[in-house]
Structure 1
Amino acid sequence: MLVAFQNLEPQYKNYAQEKIKMYHMSQGNECVDYVPIMAHLYDLIVCSSIFTFTDKSQADPRAICGGTGFDIKSKLPECIDKLRPKVNYGFCSRGCIRNCQFCCVREKEGYVHVEADIYDIWDGQAKEITLYDNNILALPDHFKYICEQLHNERIRVDFNQGLDIRLVDNDVAELLSTKYISHAQYHFAFDYSSLDGIIEDKIKILKSKGINRSTFYVLVGCKDRDNKTAKEDIEDALYRLNLLKGLGQNACVMRYRRIHDKQPKSLITKDTEKLYIPLANWGNVHAAYQKMDFLTQYLNHERGKPYKSYYQSMGLIA
């Protein structure tokens, strides 16, 4: 049997598809990447999408489709889900202790629980692995265990989805330090301005262990329980971004997209998107973010100037 794999977001690695490939190869089937002009030759086509907003019209009409992008409740059969392909990326834990209104992790994966360890993911040769855990710090014993494995094997790690800054303490920071493990720049999140005091305290702890600069995901555009306007959201985002900048951190502005109808509406519309575009362009380019004030400098720069009038019309600048 010839099995083709179609990934509608090829820029992102897809661990579920790797499990399906592992299963079919164990059955003696040949697995290949999907090529549209070859579609008539495939006995089976497996299509996956991570994001709901990805264009699904490109999916082969004969494909078996799965992933959050198609159905948040979709799951692999147990005989496939239990497989552990050693492809140097994957999950050591699934789920989360939080239940953030803008996130689907808790709904999709449940409460945080142990999934695997480094030896279930690592091929035994690679010098770096990527972990997609959503909140591994919520499992302190397992997190320590994983760090010990990384330390023993001298593997560089990228905690790609970020770590929960609220769960950082001296012991966690010690494990995260380069004295213990080799790592890519850490990612945390600063979703609410009410976390400002916690953010400041935790950054102090990280700095005490030599972790001087991390990147913080800064969520924008979510119409949360406070029912804020786009103007209020921009002002709140600028407060968080400027606080992080003052603390010597980097930022990654995350523009909110709704996954399903139960989630809050997005403040990013055709009428407001030109407020969010320059904010993301500034925040996500570290050189611009660190060197320029957004309102007084970036919006007067050639990259930001086309959007200045939108900020003026909203009363955000004179």
Structure 2
Amino acid sequence: MKIGLHDAEKEHFKHKTFPNLALMKISAYHKGKGDDVEWWNPLYRYDRVYSSKVFDFTPIDPYLPDDAIRGGTGYRDIPIDRTLPDEVDGMFPDYSIYPKCDYAVGYLTRGCPNHCRWCVVPRKEGNIRPYREWQEIVRDDSDKLVLMDNNILSCDYGIQQLESLIGSGYRIDLNQGMDARLVDREIAQILSKLTWIRHIRFSCDQKSQIEPIQRTIDLLKENGVKPYRVFIYLLVTEELQDASERVEALKRYKGINLYAQPERNERLGVIPNKMQLEFAQRYIYGGCYRTETWEEYCNRKRFVP
């Protein structure tokens, strides 16, 4: 069989380098059966085409064949909880289709016990549960491991897996942001003993998370981790005053890294407005938040905050 793979984000975002885990597993499965696998080309004919789309704002390719097997939360007309067949999900990913990827990627846990309004994970994956051991995910040709767990600290299994990575020789990144509300002294010690690729990531999506984030930063400092190693995701809703208060509370930590994400959920009709984009793209990304408040920025730009 001749198999075509389509990564909607890779096609649309030309700079995209992060691999699509589902497509890598599909590729490994078909290559294991002796099939020919390549990136889909609309000019060629294939026996089967697989298309994955992660974000609902990523355009749909109009040339995809009608019988393409589609998956991912970006396709709003298919069930959000659709998963790979077990025999495919169990495959070790085929990293050769993303030659610039020099790290292993995967999950140790799936799901999340929280039900945040802006998050699809509980509907897509259900409650938190064990999924894989880190030894099943790592690559022989790389010492880097990128984990995409949505709430790894919310179950004992996830914490045990992180603890067992201490001294393993692997550098890790938890790229979804941990919940600081779950960090105590013991967990802070575990996090401080791990070897990180770059940052230790947390989320601060609402004001109630400010105090836990501050407590976590202080606990990490007690264990030798400086604030510049901490990376904070900030959800930016229409309530910009809420977001600005979170920024003011956190920016006092010298060197801390803040990353703003305007709320977007086209399934629910949520589209960021002009000021949310201004806050994220210019006020935060441009670094203006380091020297002025959001109100001062708006006054200088002659915006109405």
Instruction: Tell me which amino acid in the other structure corresponds to 1:64.
Output: I
Give me the whole-angstrom Cα distance separating, in 1, the residues matched to 2:172 and 2:194.
12
1:143-201 CA-to-partner distances (Å, cap 9, x unmatched) read: 2333423x343111110111111111111111111x44233212111111123322222
Give me the whole-angstrom Cα distance separating, in 1, the residues matched to 2:205 and 2:249.
13
Among 39, 51, 66, the alignment partner of 1:47 is: 51
Task: Tell me what 1:69 maps to.
Answer: 74
Among 102, 105, 109, the alignment partner of 1:89 is: 105
Task: Tell me what 1:277 maps to.
Answer: 277
- Contact 1:251–1:286 (8 Å) recurs in 2: no
1:50-107 CA-to-partner distances (Å, cap 9, x unmatched) read: 1122111346124211111113122212221232337510111100121111101011
- Compute the TM-score of the two structures, normalised by the length of structure 1: 0.82
Structure 2: 5+ residue stretches without partners: 11-15, 96-103
Structure 1: 5+ residue stretches without partners: 222-229
Matches within 5 A, 1:181-260: 181-213=195-227, 214-221=230-237, 230=238, 233-248=239-254, 249-260=256-267
Matches within 5 A, 1:146-165: 146-149=162-165, 151-165=166-180
- Contact 2:24–2:94 (8 Å) recurs in 1: no
Q: Closer, same or farther in 2 for the Cα pair 1:30/1:299, shift >3 Å?
A: farther
- Contact 1:19–1:84 (8 Å) recurs in 2: yes
Give me the whole-angstrom Cα distance separating, in 1, the residues matched to 2:277 and 2:183.
32
Give me the whole-angstrom Cα distance separating, in 1, the residues matched to 2:175 and 2:152.
11
Comparing 57-66 and 100-109, the one that deviates more: 57-66
Give me the whole-angstrom Cα distance separating, in 1, the residues matched to 2:283 and 2:226.
18
Q: Closer, same or farther in 2 for the Cα pair 1:145/1:74, shift >3 Å?
A: closer
Give me the whole-angstrom Cα distance separating, in 1, the residues matched to 2:84 and 2:271.
34
Task: Tell me what 1:13 maps to.
Answer: 19
Give me the whole-angstrom Cα distance separating, in 1, the residues matched to 2:94 and 2:226.
32
Q: Closer, same or farther in 2 for the Cα pair 1:91/1:141, shift >3 Å?
A: closer
Give me the whole-angstrom Cα distance separating, in 1, the residues matched to 2:206 and 2:187.
22
Give me the whole-angstrom Cα distance separating, in 2, the residues matched to 1:31 and 1:147.
38
Give me the whole-angstrom Cα distance separating, in 2, the residues matched to 1:146 and 1:61.
42
Task: Tell me what 1:143 maps to.
Answer: 159
Give me the whole-angstrom Cα distance separating, in 2, the residues matched to 1:234 and 1:293.
12
Matched length: 284
Task: Tell me what 1:80 maps to.
Answer: 88
Instruction: Tell me which amino acid in the other structure corresponds to 2:124.
Output: K
- Contact 1:117–1:146 (8 Å) recurs in 2: no
| Shift of residue 275, structure 1, vs aligned partner | 1.2
Task: Tell me what 1:224 maps to.
Answer: none
Quote the RMSD (CA, aligned, Å).
Answer: 2.2
Give me the whole-angstrom Cα distance separating, in 1, the residues matched to 2:63 and 2:154.
37
| Shift of residue 259, structure 1, vs aligned partner | 4.8
- Compute the TM-score of the two structures, normalised by the length of structure 2: 0.85
